């Protein structure tokens, strides 16, 4: 009965063959992991950058627009009050700078401070001092901020109460008391006497002095370093955004003009028609089938990607198994046999290839060939890669001759 052995002369250098095979298996997995990680990081970075850009630009422009609105509000109210004539622009610029200074000192958004100033400007008797640095208007502005920091409402509502009190101190004291500001009987009498004698500015100073005694400096004292840093950072962003706004305005104006033009209206009409047609098509049987086919294609691609990953893992497992075998006593003996003496040989187990056909007689492999071994002889050293390729070729020849598939 035939043994199914083949004698092949190979030349190999095998001292590091086991280690190389194990490293090859590990390298395959490592390369796959590195490739996957690298692709994930690259895709993630690109996606994050695009997302951040699309999220930042609208907010960046919006910050500039809000800053511009707050300044325009101040200018418009100051102009409408008609108190400063040709000096209106200088007054509003001073108020804007003062709002920025308060923001840096307290961490409060400078737009909120300008909004507070805009409310106070609507009270004529108080607004008269808006052109005076450190005057009643400036003191009322920071008082509204301090009251909010102390827990008494918000800056804008406080500005309304303060404006009423400083516009008409006798009646306004009640409003301030409801807001949390208290006055002694002596202060009330003094305020009333000053108002009745026509010394409104002095009465305002008494009111502001009482408030400052109770809550003065609260906003600055409670502001953290982070709050102040954020205020400065926002100011820088607003400044840059304001510089960009003219270009944004130009684009917006041109877009508005185009939308109002005959060409623009036609383009919008055509686009609307295309969207309607697409909606009709997607709801039709043909459209529904297209969507279904697209979903099936995406599912196929996803599964293909999964299969590729599984294939790489199997290749790694096979290489690792071969490497591990060369670390066993049998593998080490083969390596030793491979490396020393003349005409060493290595017996490769041949798998059971099934029962013999009825015409071959006996049992075992087709044609009466029973399970056996391939004997490989090695004479002189060559590199392990060439040896591996030659072994693979020998096994393929054996399979072809013996009918193994």
Q: Is 130 a domain residue?
A: yes
Kindly report, residue by residue over 89-111, the tens digit of the pLDDT. Answer: 999 999 999 999 999 999 998 88
Choosing from 238, 261, 289, the residue where a domain stops is: 238
Residues 28 and 98 in one domain: no
Residue 141 clears pLDDT 90, i.e. is over it: yes
Q: Cα-flanking dihedrals φ and ψ of residue 197, to 5°?
A: -95, 5
Q: What is the pLDDT of residue 356?
A: 42
Residue 50 lies in a domain: no
Q: Is residue 203 situated within a structural domain?
A: yes
Same domain, 15 and 73: no
Chosen domain end from 211, 238, 265: 238
- Sign of the torsion formed by the C-alpha atoms of 180, 186, 187 and 193: positive
pLDDT mean across residues, the chain: 74
> Does 120 map to a domain?
yes
pLDDT reading at 168 higher than 60: yes
pLDDT score of 382: 54
Position 145 in a domain: yes
Same domain, 20 and 95: no
Same structural domain, 97 and 32: no
pLDDT at residue 49 above 50?
yes
Burial of 342 per CB tally in 10 Å (0-12, 13-18, 19+): exposed
Residues 68 and 24 grouped into a single domain: no
What residues make up the domain containing 348?
7-36+313-402
Total domains in the fold of the chain: 2
Question: 199 and 138: one domain?
Answer: yes
d(CA 328, CA 326): 5
Proportion of the chain above pLDDT 70, given as a percent: 64
pTM: 0.52
Which of 10 and 17 is assigned the larger pLDDT? 17
Residues 32 and 67 in one domain: no
Q: What is the average per-residue pLDDT within 286-299?
A: 88
Lowest mean pLDDT among 11-25, 48-62, 304-318: 11-25
pLDDT at 354 over 60: no
Q: What pLDDT sits at residue 94? A: 93
Of 172, 162, 122, 165, the C-alpha closest to 141 is: 162
Residue 3's pLDDT band, with cuts at 50, 70 and 90, is very low
* Domain match, 91 and 234 both: yes
Q: 198 and 149, same structural domain?
A: yes
- Of 238, 258, 276, which residue constitutes the final position of a domain? 238
Q: Are residues 15 and 91 in the same domain?
A: no
1 found inside a domain = no
Residues 103 and 201 in one domain: yes
Asked if the structure places residue 262 within a domain, the reply is no
Identify the pLDDT of residue 403: 53
Specify if 246 maps to a domain.
no
Q: How far apart are CA 69 and CA 167, in angstroms?
A: 26
Looking at the fold, whether 76 and 129 belong to one and the same domain comes out as: yes
């Amino acid at each position: 009965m035939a043994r199914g052995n083949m004698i092949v002369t190979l030349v190999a250098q095998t001292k590091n063959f086991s280690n190389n095979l194990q490293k090859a298996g590990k390298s395959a997995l490592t390369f796959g992991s590195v490739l996957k990680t690298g692709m994930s990081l690259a895709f993630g970075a690109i996606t994050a950058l695009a997302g951040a850009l699309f999220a930042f630009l609208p907010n960046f422009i919006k910050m500039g627009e809000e800053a511009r609105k707050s300044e325009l509000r101040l200018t418009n109210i100051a102009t409408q009050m008609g108190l400063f004539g040709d000096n209106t622009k200088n007054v509003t610029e001073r108020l804007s700078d003062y709002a920025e200074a308060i923001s840096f000192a307290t961490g409060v958004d400078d737009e909120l401070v300008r909004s507070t100033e805009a409310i106070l400007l609507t009270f004529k008797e108080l607004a008269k001092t808006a052109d005076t640095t450190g005057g009643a208007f400036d003191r009322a502005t920071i008082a509204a901020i301090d009251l909010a920091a102390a827990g008494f409402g918000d800056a804008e509502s406080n500005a309304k109460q303060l404006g009423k009190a400083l516009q008409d101190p006798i009646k306004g004291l009640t409003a301030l008391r409801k807001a949390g500001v208290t006055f002694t009987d002596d202060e009330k009498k003094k305020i009333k006497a000053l108002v009745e004698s026509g010394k409104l500015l002095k009465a305002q100073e008494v009111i502001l002095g009482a408030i400052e005694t109770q809550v003065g400096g609260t906003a600055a004292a409670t502001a953290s370093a982070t709050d102040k840093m954020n205020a400065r950072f926002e100011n820088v962003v607003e400044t840059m955004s304001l510089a960009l706004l003219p270009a944004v305005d130009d684009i917006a104006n041109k877009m508005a003009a185009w939308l109002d033009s005959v060409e623009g209206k036609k383009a919008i009409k055509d686009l609307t028609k295309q969207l309607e047609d697409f909606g009709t098509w997607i709801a039709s049987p043909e459209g529904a089938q297209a969507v279904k086919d697209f979903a099936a294609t995406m599912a196929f691609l996803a599964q293909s990607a999964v299969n590729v990953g599984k294939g790489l893992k199997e290749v790694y497992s096979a290489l690792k198994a071969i490497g591990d075998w060369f670390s066993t006593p049998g593998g080490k003996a083969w390596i030793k046999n491979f490396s020393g003496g003349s005409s060493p040989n290595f017996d490769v187990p041949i798998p059971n290839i099934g029962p013999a056909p009825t015409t071959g007689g006996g049992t075992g492999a087709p044609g009466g060939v029973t399970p056996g071994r391939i004997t490989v002889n090695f004479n002189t050293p060559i590199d392990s890669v060439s040896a591996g390729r030659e072994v693979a070729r020998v096994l393929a020849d054996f399979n072809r001759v013996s009918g193994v598939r």
